[in-house]
A and B are shown apart, each in its own frame.
Chain A
Amino acid sequence: MTPLATLVRTPIDPIALVRAVSSPGNGAVILFLGAVRQVNDGRDVTGIDYAAYEGMARRELQAIVDEGAARFGTGDVVVEHRLGELQVEDISVGIAVGHPHRDTAYAISRWVIEELKRRVPIWKREHYTDGTREWVDPTGHTSAVSPR
């Protein structure tokens, strides 16, 4: 198959991702799901909204699966990232990889999620139980944009 990356605003269907990368030659199929966690950095989270620079995010995601497929020698890679408002336990990202052998399948899956987190222009704003909302800065340099 051709590696496929999409941004969606509807719930991610994990089984559809698995089907997309399954084939008679693939002895290993790895499915990774990222979900909204209830507690982050000690604060109670009720939900998250995901925003993106959509054109670039789509382009970067596609570049990642294309590079991953070339680097590891398989085209059986799909990634879907959800945007918009999500609740705790909702799936925010799904990655499925098919390969003849598990070692490579695990490696591709791991590589794709790490690259996604490093370079795809997507942002998340956590909603807390006290009613406040904050954009998450994974670099921890919260002083970069300090509250007034």
Chain B
Amino acid sequence: MTVTVLLFASYAEALGASSLAVEVAGDATVADVIAHVRTYPGADRLPTLPLVAVNEQYADAHAVVREGDEVALIPPVAGG
């Protein structure tokens, strides 16, 4: 199945893209998606455990993803 990975700020700069279409197995978790993203050039600049949101809600590494989900890697936030 395919999930959309969104990248922002320093992470988008590291990978040279703001979104990726990632193919993962049907029972994949957030951790599996991150492992796949790590195969992209520039991904060595991501932290080991980036903060993640699935469909605009913070999620942990064990959360299961579904076809079409939006998985966002969230750099350290700096609002205000």
> Which residues of A come within 8 Å of B, CB atoms?
34, 50-53, 55-57, 59, 81, 92-93, 113, 116-125, 135-139, 141, 144-146
CB contact list, B15-43 vs A, under 8 A: none
CB-based contact B77/A120 at 8 Å: yes
Chain B residues, Cβ within 8 Å of A57: 79
Q: Bound complex: CA of A92 vs CA of B14, how far in Å?
A: 26
CB contact list, B45-79 vs A, under 8 A: 45-47, 53, 56-58, 72, 74-79
CB-based contact B8/A123 at 8 Å: yes
CB-based contact B11/A116 at 8 Å: no
Closest A residue to B77 by beta carbon equals A121
Task: Assess A135 versus B13: contact at CB under 8 Å? Given A53-B53, A56-B72, A145-B46.
Answer: yes
The listed residue with most A CB atoms (<10 A of its CB), out of B8, B11, B13, B76, is B76
CB-based contact B78/A122 at 8 Å: yes
CB-based contact A144/B76 at 8 Å: yes
CB-based contact A125/B79 at 8 Å: no
Chain B residues, Cβ within 8 Å of A93: 79-80
CB-based contact B56/A136 at 8 Å: no
CB-based contact B76/A141 at 8 Å: yes
With beta carbons under 8 angstroms apart, the residue of A59, A138, A141, A146 that contacts B78 is: A138
CB-based contact A51/B76 at 8 Å: no
Chain A residues, Cβ within 8 Å of B46: 144-145
